[in-house]
Amino acid sequence: MRRADHKVYIFKFRPSSHSDDYTIVATYRDAGRAEKVRRALERLLKDMEKHPDDYNVDWSPDEARILLDGEKVWFEVYTAGYLEDVESVIRKVAKPENIECYRYYQELRIRVRVPKGLTAELALLVLDREEAEAIRWFRENCGEPKVIDCGDDTQILEWFYSGDGIYGEDEDTLYIGFEFRIEDRDNWEVWEIK
C-alpha cells in the first residue's frame, strides 16, 4: 500500500502569462559546493541543446547566464517562469542554504543630501511628504543609512539596495509603492551598480 499523503515541496517557480527577467541566487555552505552547482547548470544548458524535447521551457540555453560569486550561484534568463529544471539542479546537486528569486534584479546606491545632524528618523518629520515616504521605504527595506559628512552644513544618507527592479533609469524614477521622480530633486542621486 502506498502512502497517499506525500510531503509535496512546492517548487518555487511556476509559469505565468507574462515574461520577466528572472534572477535566481542560490547560496551554498561553501564555494566548492557553489562551483559544483555552476558546473551542473552548464551541463544542463548543454543538455537542453542536445535534447530539447525533454524540456518544457520558453527560453533557449544561449539566452541564459550563469555566474559564480564565492558561495553564491546566479542564474539569469528572460522567461515566463519556466525554471523547474534549473531549480531541480540547484536543489539536488548541493543543498542550498538559501534561494532567492528576483524579477529585473537591480543593485542600487541611493544618496540623499540633508542638513547636517538630521537623522533618517528626523528627516521623516522635516522633509516633504514624498521624500519622507521614500526615506521610510529605504529604512524599512534596506535598514538604517550610512551617514557621510560632507564637510559643510550638509550630510549624505546612503543606502545600498539589492532586489527586484525598482528604478527606471530612462525616467529617472524610483517605483517604491509610488513614483518618486529623482530628476525633480537635486538632493537625491541613484546609481545602478548592477
Partner 1 sequence: MNERMKRAENLLREIAGMIRGELENRMDLIEKITSRLEVTPEEYMELMVSEVVTNSEIYVGAEFAFPPTQSHNPEKVKNKALKLLEKKLRRDCRLFLTI
Query: Measured from the CB of residue 29, what is the shortest distance to partner 1 in angstroms?
Result: 10
How far apart CA 15 and CA 17 sit, in angstroms, is 7
Instruction: Choose between 54 and 140: whose C-beta lies nearer to partner 1.
Output: 54
Q: Does 49 bind partner 1 (CB under 8 A)?
A: no
Q: Pairing relation of β-strands 20-27 and 167-168? A: unpaired
* Residue 14 is a binding residue for partner 1 (CB under 8 A): yes
Is 11 a binding residue for partner 1 by CB under 8 A? The answer is yes
Stretch that binds partner 1, among 37-45, 106-114, 140-148, 177-185 (CB under 8 A): 37-45
Task: Tell me which residue of 89, 105, 102, 83 sits closest to 16, measured CA to CA.
Answer: 83
Among residues 55, 58, 108, which one has the least CA distance to residue 80?
58
Question: Could you say whether residue 163 binds partner 1 (CB under 8 A)?
Answer: no
Smallest CA-to-CA distance from 101 within 24, 12, 166 is with: 24
Q: Is residue 7 a contact residue for partner 1 (CB under 8 A)?
A: yes
Classify residue 167 as exposed, middle or buried by CB count within 10 Å of its CB (0-12, 13-18, 19+). buried
Task: Kindly write out the interface string for residues 75-94 of this chain, putting x where it contacts partner 1 by CB under 8 A and - elsewhere.
Answer: ---------xx-xxx-xxxx
Residues at the contact surface with partner 1, assessed by CB under 8 A: 2-11, 14-15, 33, 40, 43-44, 47, 51, 54-56, 84-85, 87-89, 91-95
